[in-house]
Amino acid sequence: MTQTHDSDDSSLETNRATDSTTDDDSSERDPLFARIPRRDFMKAGAATGAMASMAGCTGLLGGDDSVSLEDVKTSVEPGEHDDYYAFLSGGHTGEIRVYGLPSMRQLMRIPVFQTESARGYGYDDRTSEMLEEAGGYTWGDAHHPRVSQTDNDYDGRWAFVNDKANGRMARIDLEYFETDAIVDIPNQQGTHGACCLLPDTKYVFGVGEFRVPMPNDGQDLDDPSNYTSTIAAIDPETMNVEWEVLVDGNMDNGDGGKEGRWFFATGYNSEHATTESEMSSSDTDWVKAFDVPAIEEAVEAGDYDEIGGVPVVDGTRDSSLNESDRPIVRYLDVSKSPHGVSVTPDGKYAIASGKLDPTASVIDIETLADADDPNDAIVGRPRLGMGPLHTAYDGRGHAYTTLFIDSQVVKWDIEAAVEASEESEDPVIEKVDVHYNPGHLIAAESYTADPQGDWLISLNKLSKDRFLPVGPMHPENDQLIYIGDDEEGMSLVKDTPSYAEPHDASIVSAEKLDPAKVYDPEDYDEEFISPEDNDISRENGRVHVKMHSQRNQFGFTDVTVTEGDEVTFTVTNVEQTADLLHSLAIPEYDVNIKLAPQETREVTFTADEPGVYWMYCAFFCSALHLEMRSRLLVEPAE
Amino acid sequence: MTQTHDSDDSSLETNRATDSTTDDDSSERDPLFARIPRRDFMKAGAATGAMASMAGCTGLLGGDDSVSLEDVKTSVEPGEHDDYYAFLSGGHTGEIRVYGLPSMRQLMRIPVFQTESARGYGYDDRTSEMLEEAGGYTWGDAHHPRVSQTDNDYDGRWAFVNDKANGRMARIDLEYFETDAIVDIPNQQGTHGACCLLPDTKYVFGVGEFRVPMPNDGQDLDDPSNYTSTIAAIDPETMNVEWEVLVDGNMDNGDGGKEGRWFFATGYNSEHATTESEMSSSDTDWVKAFDVPAIEEAVEAGDYDEIGGVPVVDGTRDSSLNESDRPIVRYLDVSKSPHGVSVTPDGKYAIASGKLDPTASVIDIETLADADDPNDAIVGRPRLGMGPLHTAYDGRGHAYTTLFIDSQVVKWDIEAAVEASEESEDPVIEKVDVHYNPGHLIAAESYTADPQGDWLISLNKLSKDRFLPVGPMHPENDQLIYIGDDEEGMSLVKDTPSYAEPHDASIVSAEKLDPAKVYDPEDYDEEFISPEDNDISRENGRVHVKMHSQRNQFGFTDVTVTEGDEVTFTVTNVEQTADLLHSLAIPEYDVNIKLAPQETREVTFTADEPGVYWMYCAFFCSALHLEMRSRLLVEPAE
């Protein structure tokens, strides 16, 4: 889990030499190796045992490797697969988008906080009830997709994402690539940060941003000194909020340490103000370090108030001690309105970016545990540039930080920053222009203990003139940058326009996910309807139609109901073949449910308009797709 | 408008020779030309007058040109612009997507039939009222994007798209790239086809698919012989339905002639059946040729029934004569369940694909006008392959047809098909595999009189194993194929995964659109709110807040209302700088409105929950973006 980081140029030189020697050796050994790029060679080599001499290597390019861009796959030819999944949030679209890297092609959208008709999300009974129980909102502001880990590596189970607009956290099942749970977090308005407690995703944390009265019921409306915000610890299995901690100031981003003890959150507005100028008036704000075992001890000891059905521990600056007098939250003074915080792959440091200050703060996590004054744990403060926001890692000892105002990504040496005098620019290795105004950035597997070190995406908020004009609402620009060559430096490889507003991303090696291609009916409560189960039952104005679907028919050619009936359709796609989807679309009744192979969904509606309605399959499933229709006959009541 | 098509191999050889000579000449003439690909050379040459010797050339690659793939821009480097806009429908997502070609990057999404929160579409009062008036549905099935033309060329004004689910037609304003009108077409359930009457987009036609009783009010529910479907002629300026024509059988796709007289629609289910097997039992179905002036004459003469507020002319097989005994619809017998129909760039032929028959039918439009038996106008019936669906053109005399069952695109010679004996395979030049099961395809500017002849997209319904797996709902696969080289043939260049379910597309040269980058406040009814116009007015439980927005503030730092108030916010983004968007997001009130530079939107809601709500800007607009917030204080009633 720990790695050695190089802090001087001479050892970087050594790495390059070692690396190119290995390359040459391999291509001499076997003509096959000469034809495949280094990335593939490394995979092939690992499989055949030829990589034994590189046992120290972590990840494809991890450890001390540095590989020229020329030897790397940058385009993905027709029929080839990408090397990585990237999960990008969709901001105020409310969705998650799945990209392939390095192609930057969008492979899939996953609706989370909004309804989406092609998937039938929010249309079938199960998903519409889930959205209703999560507050009934029609949108959300999806910011931070985080993928679950076991032993500090991606385990392929879930992705999580917060709703900044309505204080929620959602879970995406990575077997089916669909949202399967959303929790409306009590006592939180505006859940900004989302991150996992590592190494094993014990909790998913929702970091509350907007300070409001608690409870927010109309009392004490205009007394900002009594507004509060909380961090919420959510059980990833049950999606229950286990506890919350009440703190001072606004919070935004967060990241968990690798060892299960610490969680870090940045915060602006230590001023407890309500206007922009007041919020940014102080020269320092806080990074809050949450001592998770100390919090659990307080909860265990009953040292909390139950608010909104959740144990809320007092973690404000003046009251932040548990029963053993151990501080449960430590407040570190960092430069003005820090924004992003992320823990280095080795778990050694948490690095917080200054936003309104040109520096980042390097927090030594081991020191933090023992220091009387938590500020003693701030061991480096490199001067990076204007508007530093977020930091990612390559596993070779470098940090990459977005500079929002400078429109750059800066690469810097972490240990050099610790060794340098305060606010030194020495640790800065290189800057690359991005287009324009980057928010988050993400490197491949940067959040694990073993980043891959090859690709980085800079999520730029403005695209200005980079693409063909498409009206006043411009796309954003997600730029793919190669960071695998320490000698040649960073290389901008691709511009990717994106619909507003990707906030953040996680990048996962393709082999770490194993999605299902067909549903397992055992995974859901709905009854599987085979052709022999087709049935229409009627009772007291309720009609229940159970039918299968299969190229090119539904179980019934027509279904007659009476005006005013409450009608439920339970429909199964009985196909076994992957990618053969059907749907049940009902014109003018605003119904469309998606049915992947072996999937069952139910939809319930009131048949309130008499007439003939041609139910059809909206997925183009065969040459007789147009003919795959049934009639819903709604007879007048009278 | 007319072109000469080559029908034999020797003339194709001549073209190739001419073409390569031109290429060589140009690169010798000026070293500049050696460095720029042929496409760019042709643009540069046209600008400097160097192209005078190629005056016969229509479009970049139109006329008789054929250019090697090696000389064509296939990738778009960071910062470079694409050459084309492609408008792809989003199927049952209800949206339109704008791609750049040849990069195949998605530049923008345009929500049409569904709400979309990042754009605030369906959230602000103007768009939510528009959706409500268009039936109040939350989704649609967007199939056929068609771009308006003047003189048979794209004029950059509008795109239109149908809703197959709910019988509607929408218009997209190509100045602002946003949906500005939707009409709920009377008497139509399932508007499948959409296309313009050329040369000047006099009408947009909505082609009704699902046959239902007219009116569909619960009477005659189960008497399919009395079900009807119609074609609707919509005025593109007013979006009023001017008239409809009632026909026999189901219809699906349509295309207009180039000369303002004919509109063609394919149709299956001449059987007037209600089940899949009955619908496909007959060996022939119809192409319907609508004689537009004859219909207008009938309407003018009052020879119609007014149904659903619209003049409906009887165009059924037995009654299809106007007052001058001129048939207003001609029924042509073509092979089993024809699917796509499209008119050749020279306006000479309408080509209908067989779907359940391996042939296409070539209809001679001039012959059709004079023939006693409309079937005399069918002048060719090339045997293309299994499941022919749709046909596009390159302007060099070739047709490209998707073969759904064979998973191929077939290139064939149109005049050769006319000259060949019936059902000959001779006209077939080449087939290329696509992956898999293509529905529509589209070539650059194929719907104009001057196709560009370089790029073609095959919209494939299944992707199977072409991409990293992403769960049971697979992406589709839109494949980019180079068709500009008649010697080397078609080349598959790119696989592009796409979210369900692109049905069809139109491709427009970049220089033919001129989108605005900033709103013109004169274009809308909402009041422009400058900082000096900030105002809160209250009357009888109605609160109207007028405020501006500008980095990093809203016009008011807080707004106090009383529980139960109906609150309207009118908000203007007063920025002048392109790409600097704001929004007004209100947590827990389910509000988010988008505000592009100089744009004003209004949103109205009932403040029914007391508390503090942090209104914020959801577009990342500056380093102080997080601080761009105001408080909505909702005081308890009583």
* Whole-number Å distance between alpha carbons of A365 and A379: 10
A531 token code pair: 């052709």
A134 token code pair: 């999560």
CB-nearest to B106 from A90, A106, A580 is A106
pLDDT of residue B19: 33
**Dihedral (Cα; B558, B562, B565, B567), 10-degree rounding:** 0
Shortest Cα distance from B398 to chain A (angstroms)?
25
- What is the three-class DSSP state of A276? helix
Rg (CA), chain A: 27
Could B218 and A636 be called an inter-chain contact, meaning their C-beta atoms sit closer than 8 Å? yes
Q: What are phi and psi of A604, to 5 degrees?
A: -125, 135
Q: Provide the number of CB pairs (under 8 Å) joining chain A to chain B.
A: 403
In chain A, residues 52-71 whose CB comes closer than 8 Å to chain B: none
DSSP for A6-34 reads P-SHHHHHHHHHHHHHHHHHHHHH-HHHH
* Whole-number Å distance between alpha carbons of B81 and A72: 25
Tell me the sheet residues that pair with A568: A544, A604
Residue by residue, what is the 3-state secondary structure of B360-398?
EEEEEHHHHHHCCCHHHHEEECCECCCCEEEEEECCCCE
Shortest Cα distance from A468 to chain B (angstroms)?
6
Write the CA distances from B65 to A258, A525, B453, integer angstroms: 62, 61, 9
Q: pLDDT digit string (tens) for B238-249?
A: 999 999 999 999
HSE (CB half, 13 Å, CA atoms) of B163? 34
In a domain? residue B529: yes
In a domain? residue B301: no
Strand order across the B378-380 sheet: B341-343, B349-353, B360-364, B378-380
Q: Which of A24, A49, A71 is the last residue of a domain?
A: A71
- Interface membership of A132 toward B (CB under 8 Å): no
Q: Which of A493, A497, A441, A443 lies closest to A470 in space, CA to CA?
A: A497
pLDDT of residue B40: 36
Could B518 and A472 be called an inter-chain contact, meaning their C-beta atoms sit closer than 8 Å? yes
Could A474 and B109 be called an inter-chain contact, meaning their C-beta atoms sit closer than 8 Å? no
Could B492 and A78 be called an inter-chain contact, meaning their C-beta atoms sit closer than 8 Å? yes
pLDDT of residue A606: 98
* Whole-number Å distance between alpha carbons of A615 and A559: 10
Residue B409: which pLDDT band, with cuts at 50, 70 and 90?
A: very high
pLDDT of residue A283: 86
Residue by residue, what is the 3-state secondary structure of A400-411?
EEEECCCCEEEE
Sign of CA dihedral B40, B44, B47, B51: negative
- What is the three-class DSSP state of A634? strand
Residues of chain B in contact with residue A466, where contact means CB-CB under 8 angstroms, are: 78-79
Identify the weakest region by mean pLDDT among B210-219, B322-331, B610-619.
B322-331
Contact B159, B179 (CB under 8 A): no
Which amino acid belongs to residue B504? Answer: D
Average pLDDT over residues B548-555: 96
Shortest Cα distance from B23 to chain A (angstroms)?
28
- Interface membership of A556 toward B (CB under 8 Å): no
Percentage of chain B exceeding pLDDT 90: 82
Q: Which of B18, B23, B55, B24 lies closest to B39 in space, CA to CA?
A: B23
Could B618 and A590 be called an inter-chain contact, meaning their C-beta atoms sit closer than 8 Å? no
B620 token code pair: 């990342």
pLDDT of residue B318: 80
* Whole-number Å distance between alpha carbons of B465 and B462: 9
Tell me the sheet residues that pair with A89: A96
Closest chain B residue to A520 measured between Cα atoms? B472
Strand order across the A284-291 sheet: A254-256, A262-267, A284-291, A329-335
pLDDT of residue B223: 93
* Whole-number Å distance between alpha carbons of B475 and B484: 28
In a domain? residue A346: no
Tell me the ipTM for this assembly: 0.90
CB-nearest to A618 from B141, B212, B621 is B141
- Interface membership of A308 toward B (CB under 8 Å): no
Shortest Cα distance from B348 to chain A (angstroms)?
29
A384 token code pair: 């990076």
pLDDT of residue B37: 35
Element (H, E) at A333: strand A329-335
**Dihedral (Cα; B482, B486, B487, B493), 10-degree rounding:** 10
CB-nearest to B472 from A92, A472, A516 is A516
* Whole-number Å distance between alpha carbons of A207 and A167: 9
Q: Which of A71, A90, A124 is the last residue of a domain?
A: A71
Q: How many CB atoms lie within 10 A of CB A370?
A: 8
Q: Which of A25, A51, A71 is the last residue of a domain?
A: A71
CB-nearest to A475 from B107, B274, B623 is B107
- Interface membership of A633 toward B (CB under 8 Å): yes
DSSP for B249-264 reads S----EEE-SSSSEEE
* Whole-number Å distance between alpha carbons of A403 and A409: 6
* Whole-number Å distance between alpha carbons of B376 and A84: 58
In a domain? residue A587: yes
In a domain? residue B530: yes
Closest chain B residue to A190 measured between Cα atoms? B587
Write the CA distances from A470 to A476, A500, B434, integer angstroms: 12, 13, 30
Shortest Cα distance from A296 to chain B (angstroms)?
30
Contact A69, A453 (CB under 8 A): no
A284: Cβ contacts below 8 Å, ≥ 6 apart: A270, A333, A334, A335, A336
Ranges of chain A with pLDDT below 70: 1-64, 320, 322-323, 422-423
Residues of chain A in contact with residue B143, where contact means CB-CB under 8 angstroms, are: none
Q: pLDDT digit string (tens) for B36-86?
A: 333 333 333 333 333 333 333 334 444 457 899 999 999 999 999 999 999
CB-nearest to B623 from A92, A175, A356 is A356
Q: pLDDT digit string (tens) for B607-637?
A: 999 999 999 999 999 999 999 999 999 999 9
* Whole-number Å distance between alpha carbons of B137 and B124: 16
Burial A155-164 (b: 16+ CB within 10 A, else e): bbbbbbbbbb
pLDDT of residue B519: 98
Average pLDDT over residues B25-30: 34
Find the angle CA(B271)-CA(B275)-CA(B279) to the nearest 5 degrees. Answer: 30
Q: Which of B84, B85, B82, B95 lies closest to B502 in space, CA to CA?
A: B95
Could B108 and A499 be called an inter-chain contact, meaning their C-beta atoms sit closer than 8 Å? yes
Model pTM score: 0.91
CATH number at residue B615: 2.60.40.420
In a domain? residue A620: yes
In a domain? residue A152: no
pLDDT of residue A2: 32
Which amino acid belongs to residue B425? Answer: E
Contact B263, B205 (CB under 8 A): yes
- Interface membership of A408 toward B (CB under 8 Å): no
Average pLDDT over residues B486-510: 97
Which amino acid belongs to residue A324? Answer: S
Burial of residue A324 (CB within 10 Å: 0-12, 13-18, 19+) is exposed
In a domain? residue A93: no
Instruction: Provide the domain limits for residue B546.
Output: 521-635
Could B82 and A516 be called an inter-chain contact, meaning their C-beta atoms sit closer than 8 Å? no
Structural domains of chain A, count: 2
- Interface membership of B135 toward A (CB under 8 Å): yes
Looking at every residue in chain A, the average pLDDT score rounds to: 89
